[in-house]
Amino acid sequence: MLPYLLSAVLILSLTGYLAGEELPTPTATLSLEEVINIALENQVDVLVGQNNLDAAQNRVTQSKSRYFPQISVQNNTFTSSSGDALTQRRTGTAIAVTHNIYDGGLREANIARTKHGVTENEAALARTIQAVVFDTTSAYYEVLRAKQLAEVAQASVKYNEALIEVVQSRVELGDAASVDILPVQSQLAAAKVNLIAAQNSVRVAKIRLQNTIGLSPQAEFDVQPISTPPSAELQALETYLSEAMNNRPDISQAQAAIGSSKASAKAAKISLYPIPQVTAEYQRGLGGLSGNSTQIFGGISFNLFDGGANRAAYREAKANQESAEKRHQQLIKDIEAQVRQAHINVNDSIERLSASQIGLETAQKNYEVQQERYKQGLAIPLDLLNAEVQVVTAQTNLVQAQYDLYIAMAQLDFAVGRNGVQNGKQD
């Protein structure tokens, strides 16, 4: 692909003058892999996802703590009296150990819910990372696209400046009319406007990329061209659909949400019926208190009337479970649609890239013909201008098609749940 771009710039030169001015080179440039690493370290969504996962893991620790005895230190005061007179007062410290042996399954349901919460947040973080990789990759390609389009615009300006000199020389020699220079001057003015717009697009693209990866805009920020373009080999649609169903972390997230809602519904259902409870307690007196005591409490707790709160909580939990199941079903449909659309986009981009390459080759041949005709006095500057416009248009189309394909491949990777740098270095 790149040889077509380079040859297009070279073919624009009428006199060999068009080497073109280079865009400002920063002191340091970043590769795609480096930019993605910066994004994963600074992007707010990733940091929030990591915090959410940490919170979920701590909720599991909290729920599991009910399996262990709870130890506390108590400072107690005991008084006794006879009639209106205080006969004895004792103050001391005791160590109490309390253990919830059984609570009807509420503890287990809560642990199951928090474990599903960890799985849910792990999957959410994985999908967030994939989204950040895709967004960063797309923004990176947009910078490269803008830079190459600016190079095309810059070459067009140089070409028209050189052509003006050639036409002016012919006017001075009497081989051309003075009006022949007017369309070239008009085209040069338009080319300079396009160059300004293209250079501004480069700046805007860099700002967007820096914002995407969580950095403040820096004027010296720049990126490197990709060393290895993403492969444009397209496999069968069914292969990508199967991979998506196996790889997409949001499927695991949706399944974990169903498990969590089922655990909540189970806990809510337990509260509708009598709850057997068994609790053990051991107390050892210290500092003024003597004696030890061990007690085991067993019983059944049943809320005769709560204004319908438990029944409403159970209905809410069942509704949440049904919603989670429906979201999972819809997610499967959405994933299939996303993969199909991404597959179509890649196939379309491959076809447009092939057509753009043919278009550039044709425009280059036409330019060469018009250049030879002009040397023989069979063409006018307007013929060269038209040929030059066709080459610039074809080159622009090729750049657009090239980066549309890169982004389409990144979109397909994102749709099937792949993660990593898109230039073959990391997967």
Residue 204: per-residue pLDDT: 97
Residue 181: per-residue pLDDT: 87
User: Does 294 fall in a domain?
Assistant: no
* Rg of the chain (C-alpha set): 37
Which whole-number Å values give the CA distances from 200 to 20, 127, 147, 197, 414, in the listed order? 18, 33, 10, 5, 29
Dihedral sign, Cα of residue 260, residue 261, residue 266, residue 272 = positive
User: Does 408 fall in a domain?
Assistant: yes
- In this structure, are residues 128 and 49 in contact, taking their beta carbons and an 8 Å threshold? yes
- In this structure, are residues 283 and 140 in contact, taking their beta carbons and an 8 Å threshold? no
Tokens of 306: 């709560």
User: Does 79 fall in a domain?
Assistant: no
Q: Rounded to two decimals, what is the model's pTM?
A: 0.81
Number of folded domains that form the chain:
1
User: Does 365 fall in a domain?
Assistant: yes
Amino acid letter, 337: A
Place of tokens 């349901």: 109
Model pLDDT for residues 125-172, shown as the tens digit of each residue: 999 999 999 999 999 999 999 999 999 999 999 999 988 888 888 888
Residue 180: per-residue pLDDT: 83
- In this structure, are residues 150 and 198 in contact, taking their beta carbons and an 8 Å threshold? yes
C-alpha–C-alpha distance, residues 261 and 259, integer Å: 5
- Which parts of the chain register pLDDT below 50? 1-27, 421-427
C-alpha–C-alpha distance, residues 264 and 110, integer Å: 7
> What CATH number has the domain bearing residue 338?
1.20.1600.10
User: Does 148 fall in a domain?
Assistant: yes
C-alpha–C-alpha distance, residues 393 and 411, integer Å: 26
Model pLDDT for residues 341-382, shown as the tens digit of each residue: 999 999 999 999 999 999 999 999 999 999 888 888 888 888
**HSE of 113, CA atoms in CB hemisphere, 13 A:** 19
Question: What domain range is 403 assigned to?
Answer: 2-69+104-274+316-416
Residue 90: per-residue pLDDT: 60
List of residues 6+ apart from 401 with CB closer than 8 A: 349, 352, 353, 355, 356
User: Does 92 fall in a domain?
Assistant: no
C-alpha–C-alpha distance, residues 239 and 300, integer Å: 56
Q: b/e for 267-299, b at 16 or more Cβ within 10 A?
A: bbbbbeeebebeeeebbebeeebeeeeeeeeee
User: Does 330 fall in a domain?
Assistant: yes
Q: What is the largest CA-CA distance in the chain?
A: 136
User: Does 302 fall in a domain?
Assistant: no
Amino acid letter, 406: Y
C-alpha–C-alpha distance, residues 258 and 117, integer Å: 10
